[in-house]
Structure 1
Amino acid sequence: MPKPTDNPHLAVQPDFTSEKYCQAQEYLVNDDINHDVAAAQLALYWTLNNDLEKEEWDCQILQEQQEAVEKARLEEEEQKALQEEKKKYCCKYAIVLADPIIIPSQIAAHRLHEVDFVELYYFTSKGLCDTELTIRSTDDDALTLLQTGDGLHSFIPLASAQAKGTVTKDKDLTWEEFSEATHRLANAMKENNWEADNISNHVKFWLALENHPWRHGHCEISKRALLVYQARVCRRWHDTLDTKQSFNIMHINDILLAQIRDELVHSARVMELESLKQVSPPSHLTIAQRAAPLTITCSFPFPPPFFFVLPL
């Protein structure tokens, strides 16, 4: 039986004694049944039919509720199964990212996985571009033998070895390259499950260098000293990790920083002196001419002219 369109529980029994139902009464009237009894019988028939409709209605409502509960349960199970599958096969449901994907060289990825020192160059825009070009132009299966930092030899992909030859040392990076590389390297540390404290200390270390007064001064040697300090200290941190000489990289050693700047100042002076030594008198002059003072006459709009005497 189809479900009633209207709720039978809300139905109101008609007045079967009214003139509207006189014709219906005529079908029941006989010698033993008058119009009043016929009206009562019509009311009884309506009540019996209404009770059947109520029962049918209630059964349909119960069935719909059970179906809704079952549907919700199945959808929940389907969602749980889908979530489990997404965890297991995450690439199957991944969509392409709007932001550029940071893919460092294989040698940088290997060092990150081993919590080893890795040059910032690999995470500069130029380094990432070089890596992408090298990967496209090199056989992925080709291997080469390379000596690691601890003196051991191991086979690594040829693409990584080729990229290694173009690496710019940390101390020779520009400040723009330093800033873009440190941010990417910090994210790579997280992806490779470095200890949270080590990541935090590196970030604080790099921020301290970025905010150092020398960084925003006018002395280029002082700015370079900060980059050299970063290169040396990062390398030393990795070399002494898990040893008695280990230290917290976030603390800036002002004494060491000053020593590095003094070294750079000294190197700059030596280079300047060397360049001056390269300046010599013309080869066509005699020894006496080279030893003689050089006289230069300078004329000005006002008299008298005067002379500069410059020794060679």
Structure 2
Amino acid sequence: MIRKWFNYHAHLDKGFLIPPYKYKDAAAPKRAEWTREAKIHMTKEEIKKSASLALEKMHQFGTVYVRTHVDVDSLFELRAVEALLELKEQWKEKIIIDIIAFNQEGFDRFPETEVLLKEALKLGVNGIGGHTSIDKNGKEHIDKIFQIAESSYCDWIEFHTDETGREDDFLLPYLANEVTNRQLKDKVTAIHCCSLANVDEVLAQKTIEEVALSEMTVTTCPTAIATRKLTRVKDLANAGVTIQLGSDNLRDYFNPLGSGNMLQYAQLLAYVQRFYELEDINQLISWIEAKPENERVQKQLEKLSGQFEYPLYTNSELLAEAPHPKISHLNLI
């Protein structure tokens, strides 16, 4: 059986941190500080080396598409974007890499990020990303990301949304309403949406209805369960919201683990939110093999050389065992 998997959220620019960097368990602000320090010193070639290690892992487990956020700020400047653009070309026959120029550090900390994001869009990235919890005024942050996106064409506008999980850090309703008002629909993705798991039931259901109305997409990263609740995945899906899965960090200061195997991430979500019935399992598998609704990506997928063959597993067996596929390469000449 031939299967192909899609990873809708990763951080290839910071995965597989090479020596002298190594994971240490500490509070999130401390690990963020260490990450910023690493970003100052990492060269473009080092970024390419660590990202290539992550791509190798993803490819050997059958991933054909990865959407990666790449930090753009005064620490990385445009080095990471340039590195991933080069890897995008080098890997084009094996994995499609869509690059999101990401404002990880915020406009408050580095106001010059606005200029760098605009430069990144000119270099040919596929989208722009923001972080609703990183600046003092999250609504202004969202608005500015939309404004920058309007200045240059991009396929995707994505936000790390309410990642803290706090009830007082809940901007998903604002984001959904802005997407509706701007008629951006599935061009916009909200990632994580952790606070939705903690607000009261009435507000949660009202927000889910607003998200469904906006036609935006929600991406969940099951490994985030290590530090906070996952969003209400089943409720969102039942309301008609398109759900995607991502690996998130691989072997960096925020996640020292990570195989790149999308079946394992789906399995983790199944454990955490009890996707155990056959209908649930089929739904999970459908999320990690769903192609982006994008003509460019569809054409690129047709040009990939790899085939990933599994024994005649049912979806239940695939999810239970998360096996390694047999890889063969097609001659496309």
More helix by share: 1
The normalised TM-score by structure 1 is 0.19
The normalised TM-score by structure 2 is 0.18
More strand by share: 2
Q: Which has the larger radius of gyration?
A: 1
